[in-house]
Structure 1
Amino acid sequence: MRASSGLDARKWGILLVLCGAIFLEGIDVAMLNVALPSIRADLGLSTGELQWVMSAYVLGYGGFMLLGGRAADLFGRRRMFVFWLTVFLLFSGLGGFATEGWMLIVARFVTGVAAAFMTPAGLSIITTGFAEGPDRNKALLIYSGTAAGGFTIGLVAGGLLTAIGWRWVFFAPVVLSFVVLVAALVFVPRSARPERLGRRLDGAGALTVTAALVLIVLGVERAAHAGAASSVGTLAAGLAFLVAFVLIERRSPEPLVRLGIFRNGPLVRANVSAMLFAAGFFGFQFLVVLYLQELRGWTTLQTSLAMLVIGIDAVLSPTLTPRLVLRFGNAKVIFGGLALAALSYGLFLPLGADWSYGAMFPSLIILGLAFSMAYGPLTIVATEGVADEEQGLAGGLLYTAFQFGAAVGLSAVTAVSVAATRGDTPAALLDGYRTGLLVPFATAVLAAAVGAFGLRSRKDGGPTSDAGNAAAERADIPVAH
């Protein structure tokens, strides 16, 4: 590893711009999460429509992430970052003017697509603009910590803004986006125009995989209120698009996804575990927010402060997790995090109509610990042993797995909760929430089962692996060589 030369003023300027963008993405999602009940009340949305306000964003994000990473390589990272940050700004503002549910859902989908192009472009500016070694590690640690901090601060900011009016949850990011955009034009340097001769975007692959994701999620969500034939037909159409995607990738000279990468067992396990973990994490938060605000009558600010403890991951991820990886290896830490997630959801299953915050606190803080243990090591395993020229692909696959899992989890808890709610009385709502909570519990148990297979494979990262050493170095832990 090369000695650090330190970050000069120019690099600090670039890093602050990119941190502002990832902070924006984190705070945007968190603020919307706590504003959902107020949006439902004002626009008269059903639970299914409300779920799509969240799912539309993660589908746009996950469906176009792979294409976004490749577009940054072909058309220029700065160009893609600035252009899609502008789109993010515009459609976030348009969401605040929505008067119908479909308007908000469309605005959120386009905002998610913008994030899918903006985020990999920003990350690649760091990985190509900072020297490999201490400088890049420091930049990435600040970058990832800012993302977690954005989500945590967004929980509180969302409560405060929703107390004024839920539309400010969409207007506030416009102001921050504009500041970041101006700073990007000043600090992020122009790069040489990439050589694109003979290279093209795999548009057909991107469209078919996105159609597959949308239809599969729609099929899961419709299971609660549509006929069996309609739900099965929607799922079948989604699977057909998935098959089409695979066929396109097999024949494409420049595929969006080189299918041979799935021969990497640890990578596949990491992606499946990430998908299941995200499904439980987002589904659980969705139900808890509805429970606190619609059944218990808590304000948005009270809900925000209650959920804030989950944000402990912003502190633990860069401090505790590297030490755990060094001591036990990635596989054991991942398994521990997934098992803790199952424990967190299991403790919440006997949910009562008048639970005190003290009764909820163990589940929430354990979930924050679980996230801090699972997220970072999953990222390491999903990208370890992958050739440099496919690191973007490996990262894109992981983020796609997270976003698709989040969308399926939201749809599944909605379908199960709605199906189990027999009436509009408090008791009926509570029955629906309790039944819906089985979904995150089941997905966490499945994720832990998948993670357990990694315990038998040293390829998933042992205590003396390079990944463990890298994690230790980021935390300034001495490593024996």
Structure 2
Amino acid sequence: MSAPSPVARVASSRLVLTAILTTQVMLVLDATIVNVALPDIRTSLGFSPTTLSWVMNAYTLAFGGLLLLGARAGDILGRRRVLIGGVALFTLASFVGGFAQSPTELLLARAVQGAGAAFAAPSGLALLMARFPEGRERTRAIGYYSAVSIGGSALGLIAGGMLTQWLSWRWVFFVNVPIGIALILLARAVLPETPRHPGRFDLLGATTSTLGMTSLVYGFVRAASDGWSDLGTIFAFAAGALLLAAFILVELRAPSPITPLRLFADRTRSSSYVARLLLVAGMMGMFFFLTQFLQEILGYTPLATGFAFLPLTLVLFGSSRLSASLVSRVGVKPLMVGGLALSTTGLLVLSQISADSSYWGVLVPLVLFGAGNGLAFVPLTSLGLAGVAPQDAGAASGLVNVSQQVGGSLGLAILVTVASSAARRATPTGSTPTEIAQHAFVVGADRAFFVAAMFIAATMVLLAVMVRTPKAQPVETRLERDLELALD
């Protein structure tokens, strides 16, 4: 059989990349597409201010908690098969969630969505790594993957605003159905199946890790409403700690662990996982509070709120593309540290907004935050996958996504607790109950933005101290020329 022509190979590569990127953007987008719809969801289904965060956390916790099991399933059953199954489950849960009539029904649908995403996402990234060899092709593919991973979050805000205002909040779920069906058909046609590898499913590891993280998040959310001395809060934290300790013991003894602990032996790679967790913790909290600020304080419609994030989206895509071309000239560490310094500055500026602020007071920090995150995400993703053995590709890609989803869940839970505590202690200001409530919200949001900035600053320090970089190479290297050609 003759080898495929270069033209056919390029066409095939583009279709494979399209399928993988569409999967990723749909899954990442769904973590934020409901953000703009949260006020409507709260009114329609009767959520309280603190339990409203579970609309986000039910998805990200199931996503992050089951990701490693999903990655392992791809290794054992075949990655295309698992990706298609995950997308199908995600699509079905989206359809059911659109018809939810109570908070419980919606949260269950969101959890199942997260489970479907957990099986689809790591297989997609592992297929990308297998399809594109190291060098300019993989660098370009990772650049696109990173762009949709971070940009999809911002695009979700815009799409959520359109759907909520023009149709209904329910359409932030229904919209996934035609996309999911089309994606299943495309994946069946263009994605290659990978060989199956014998092994066992580490169900005990998946259970202890998921329940452990859920208990920690529940502890923070309960502390926001009932206080730190509440017995339920204390029990949740204790249960979370014990379950996560049990998870580590299980992984040390399991014959086929979902998390090979050898992946953490490399200091640079393990630091990149922690850094991604902290970075996304700050980012998701920013989206959660800023969308409510724009609607409830500035009086924006859902559509206007979505478009208010458009500059962030554009800057994210532009800086992600620029990052891939700069990495060989500037180096991985300076690019990440410099980008995170911009992101930290943006959140510090955002922590100074007030009820009298205009959109211009939001725009500048959004641009800074978008530029900084875009510069940092491409090299950060590459660090998480560098030097991984082929048999660990699924687990490594799963850990990249776990860091992102768990970071979003923990970060949002912590920031909700911080905001609620600050709002309760705020000095009442205003002549009407509405003005007093708005002032309390702004006080809480400002404190949350400041703590989010500290998350990003901690990320910057961690990478500056822990990441090892190779010796400097000449500027005119083959790698640099390949990157420039790939990005033309």
Structures share fold, TM-score greater than 0.5: yes
1:114 aligns with 2:116: yes
**TM-score normalised to the size of structure 1?**
0.90
- 2:259 counterpart letter in structure 1: V
Instruction: Work out the number of aligned pairs and report it.
Output: 468
Name the structure 2 match of 1:385. 387
Find out whether 1:452 has 2:454 as its counterpart.
no
Partner of 1:64: 66
1:464 counterpart = 2:476: no
Given the superposition, is the C-alpha separation of residues 154 and 436 from structure 1 closer, same or farther in structure 2, using an over 3 Å criterion? closer
Contact kept, 8 Å, 1:30 with 1:151, in 2: the verdict is yes
Q: Structure 1 CA distance, aligned partners of 2:147 and 2:107?
A: 29
Instruction: Report if aligned partners of 1:319, 1:475 keep a CA contact under 8 Å in 2.
Output: no
Question: What is the letter of the counterpart of residue 204 of structure 1?
Answer: L
Cα shift at 1:152: 4.1
Deviations 1:399-445 (CA, angstroms, capped at 9, x unpaired): 21121111111111111212222476222222222222232022122
| Native 8 Å contact 1:276 1:444 kept in 2 | yes
Asked whether 1:430 is paired with 2:442, we answer yes
Secondary structure, counterpart of 1:97 in structure 2: coil
Contact 2:75/2:197, CA 8 A, preserved across alignment: no
Residues 148 and 39 of structure 1: is their aligned pair in 2 closer, same or farther, counting only changes over 3 Å?
Answer: same
CA displacement, residues 171-210 of structure 1 (integer Å, 9 cap, x when unaligned): 1111111111222233335555x242xx211111111111
Match of residue 182, structure 2, among 179, 202, 215: 179
1:473 counterpart residue number: 482
C-alpha distance in structure 1 between counterparts of 2:308 and 2:251, whole Å: 45
Find the counterpart in structure 2 of residue 276 from structure 1.
278
1:255-299 superposed Cα distances (whole Å, 9 cap, x missing partner): 222223323211222122111111111111111111111222211
**One-letter amino acid of the structure 2 residue matched with residue 315 of structure 1:** F
2:308 equivalent to 1:299: no
The answer for the alignment partner of 2:222 in structure 1 is 222
Tell me by how many angstroms 1:18 deviates.
2.5
Report the Cα distance in structure 1 between the residues aligned to 2:170 and 2:471, rounded to whole angstroms.
48
| Counterpart for residue 169 of structure 1 | 172
CA distance in 1, matches of 2:110, 2:138: 32
Output the CA distance in 2 between the equivalents of 1:52 and 1:465. 50
1:86 is matched with: 88
CA distance in 2, matches of 1:329, 1:134: 16
**Distance in 2 (alpha carbons) for counterparts of 1:322 and 1:397:** 22
How far residue 248 of structure 1 moved from its aligned partner, in angstroms, is 0.7
Paired residue secondary structure (2:209): helix
- Which stretch of the first structure deviates more once superposed, 7-16 or 40-49? 7-16
**Aligned partners of 1:280, 1:363: CA distance in 2, in Å?**
14
Deviating more after overlay: 271-280 vs 136-145: 136-145
Shift of 1:8: 4.3
Corresponding residue of 1:208: 208
For 2:81, give the aligned amino acid: R
Q: 2:237 aligns with which of 226, 235, 249?
A: 235
Residue type matched to 1:431 in 2? V
Q: Is the 8 A contact 1:330 1:463 kept in 2?
A: no
Contact 1:49 1:101 in 2 (8 A): no
Q: CA deviation at 1:74?
A: 0.5
Question: Matched residue of 2:36: which SS?
Answer: helix
CA contact (8 A) 1:310 1:365 kept: yes
Partners of 2:394 and 2:193 lie apart in 1 by 21
Does residue 1:443 correspond to 2:443, yes or no? no
Offset of residue 141 of structure 1: 4.2
Partner of 2:433: none
Q: CA deviation at 1:16?
A: 2.6
- Per mean C-alpha deviation after superposition, the further-off stretch among 45-54 and 119-128 is 119-128
Structure 1 residues 392 and 359, CA gap change in structure 2 (3 angstroms) = same
Q: Distance in 1 between matches of 2:291 and 2:340?
A: 22
TM-score, normalisation: structure 2: 0.89
**Distance in structure 2 (CA, Å) of the matches to 1:91 and 1:218:** 23
- Preserved contact between residue 329 and residue 462 of structure 1 (Cα < 8 Å): no
How far did residue 147 of structure 1 move?
4.4
Q: 1:436 to 1:138 in 2, by over 3 A?
A: closer
* Equivalent AA in structure 2 for residue 203 of structure 1: L
Does structure 2 retain, via aligned residues, the 8 Å contact 1:329–1:465?
A: no
Q: Distance in 2 between matches of 1:142 and 1:416?
A: 35
Question: In the TM superposition, what is the alpha-carbon distance from 1:351 to its structure 2 partner?
Answer: 1.3
One-letter amino acid of the structure 2 residue matched with residue 19 of structure 1:
L
The match for 2:421 is 419
How far does residue 136 in structure 1 lie from its aligned partner after superposition?
4.5
2:286/2:449 contact within 8 Å kept: yes
For 2:478 and 2:54, the matched residues in 1 are separated by 41
- Bigger mean CA deviation after superposition, 382-391 or 371-380: 382-391
Kindly state the Cα deviation for residue 156 of structure 1 after the two structures are TM-superposed: 2.2
Q: What corresponds to 2:18 in structure 1?
A: 16
Paired with 1:232 and 1:475, the residues of 2 have a C-alpha distance of: 54
For structure 2, the residue ranges without an aligned partner over 5 or more in a row are 429-435
- Note the C-alpha offset of 1:55: 1.1
